[in-house]
Amino acid sequence: MEQGTKPVYTLAEAREFIEANRERVDGTYRNQYHLIPPVGWMNDPNGFIYYQGEYHLFYQFYPYDSKWGPMHWGHAKTKDLIHWEELPTALAPDEPYDQDGCFSGSAIEKDGKLYLMYTGHRIENGVVYQTQCIAVSEDGINFEKYAANPVIDEKRMGEYGNIHDFRDPKVIKKDDSYYSIIASKTEDDRGLILLYQSDDLYEWKFFSVLLEGTHDQGVMWECPDLFHLNGKDVLIMSPIEINPRGVEFHNTSSTVAFIGQMDWETGSFAVENDHEIDFGLDFYAPQTTRDSAGRQVMIAWMQMWGRTLPTDLLGHKWAGSMTLARELWVENNRLYQKPISDVYQSLKIIEKQTNLVIENEVRKYHSISTNNRYYQLTLGVSQADAFQVYLAKNKLGGLVLDFDKETNQLTFSRKDFGHPITGSEPSQLTERTVILNGNKIELEIFMDTSSVEIFVNQEKTMTFTFYEETLEPNLYIEAKGILEVPLLEIGCVQV
């Protein structure tokens, strides 16, 4: 970084810094089978693509601190979405049009080359300008920024939206055309998704307003993605300050799936249903890709804006993680998620029990691993009033799933467990809830060193981080009434 009026970042310097500092990172809370940065800060997944036989994932990256800073694009690849290989940093904010950050974007393959479309973020006299830029690679590792960047700027953005909040392009191909879906906002602070069209990825023109939000739906929409799945069109995005609705949307920034129909003649999206994508505390900016097996795979940033981050406060020199990859499908106008099937190849089951009955008591089960654990639980609640499943316990609290039959609510809490995490929400959020129906509850739980992802009835997910150093390798199930447990599996993900 040169010391001048403005710092000038270079790729070479970022790569050197990573090599010189990777050993200085504190490993205490580093996840084992989720993608995390080698050093420094990570946020949104970017450029998720299946390219030349491997999945590539880029991410918002600031190598120099465990806090957000001028964004680079970190890069990793994987064959199975579990074991990740780090690749050299792909983009640095080294051009006048992106000097304050290479913000989020996406990837697409054309004629064997890998194209990235990202947002150039620059601040002039205290005012933010966001434009869309292209970088191209022949080997999937080294990228060259297009000489005529930006490809969509104030002149080409059209009459809608706002150049100061105009970001996160997701490029898709439809028939012989390329489209880019870009987030912006209206003058009166409502979310707006704009659609652009191109024949060659370099020349872009405004096509339409794809969707415009209401005042209830947040002040800005970030990171949109659009795909066709099971006969429906799905638009996902991350709204800032969307209003809470029942048990949904309690974080400062949320994620939402709009299910409906896309009209490609007019470029508008007709919404038939919408719902929150994940019911946890740490899930944001999800991005999807369609792989060679036809799966729509989603990965999100497993953190939340506006919260304190223990690895930063503790000086561990890194922060942020991606979720497990999840496969999506649409049924009854809802978006469903299941763990990516590849994870089962790496799963080691150490104990399997069937047809347990737990009646007004607490049972304790052991795992061999303290901080990488997998549980599968089927629970029959027709004769149970309530149950609690403790994934971990300490003197004050625990990581606990709490079910109440009367309300059919399943709540996950990290209250008083591990390093405190405080946030900008009106009241300190330490738990989230989902509402279930039926007498059978199927849970699949993936715990890594500092994260828990709970798949509930292969429908809803709850994603949380936690930072507690000393975990005992036990699972406790407590029942009020008669809890049937047709299946309990305990294992871990082999890395």
Nearer to ligand FRU among residue 298 and residue 456 (C-beta):
298
Q: Find the catalytic residue in 44, 278, 342, 448.
A: 44
Residues in Cβ contact with 105 at an 8 Å cutoff, skipping those fewer than 6 apart: 46, 47, 116, 117, 118, 119, 132, 168, 169, 170
- Shortest Å, Cβ 284 to ligand FRU: 6
- Sequential DSSP letters for 337-355: EEE-GGGGGGEEEEEEEEE
- Shortest Å, Cβ 168 to ligand FRU: 5
If you search the block for the tokens 């763990």, which residue do you land on?
339
Nearer to ligand FRU among residue 149 and residue 413 (C-beta):
149
Q: How far apart are the first and last CA of the chain?
A: 36
Name the nearest CA neighbour of 118 among 143, 142, 138. Answer: 143
Are 123 and 105 spatial neighbours (Cβ–Cβ below 8 Å)?
no
The footprint of ligand FRU (CB under 6 A) covers 43-44, 60, 71, 103-104, 119, 167-168, 222-223, 284-285
- Sequential DSSP letters for 269-301: EEEEEEEES--SSS-EEEEEEE-TTS-EEEEEE
Active site annotation includes 44: yes
Please report the sign of the dihedral spanned by the C-alpha atoms of residue 410, residue 411, residue 412, residue 417: negative
- Shortest Å, Cβ 120 to ligand FRU: 11
- Shortest Å, Cβ 304 to ligand FRU: 10
- Shortest Å, Cβ 171 to ligand FRU: 15
Nearer to ligand FRU among residue 68 and residue 417 (C-beta):
68
Question: Does an H or E element contain 122, and which?
Answer: strand 113-124
C-alpha neighbours within 13 Å on the C-beta side of residue 427:
6
Nearer to ligand FRU among residue 43 and residue 451 (C-beta):
43
Residue type, 346: S
Nearer to ligand FRU among residue 42 and residue 330 (C-beta):
42
Nearer to ligand FRU among residue 120 and residue 491 (C-beta):
120
Which residues face 105 on adjacent strands? 118
- Shortest Å, Cβ 132 to ligand FRU: 11
Which 3 state secondary structure label does DSSP give 406?
A: coil
Which 3 state secondary structure label does DSSP give 484?
A: strand
Q: Is 2 exposed, middle or buried (0-12, 13-18, 19+ CB in 10 A)?
A: exposed
- Shortest Å, Cβ 121 to ligand FRU: 7
Active site residues: 44
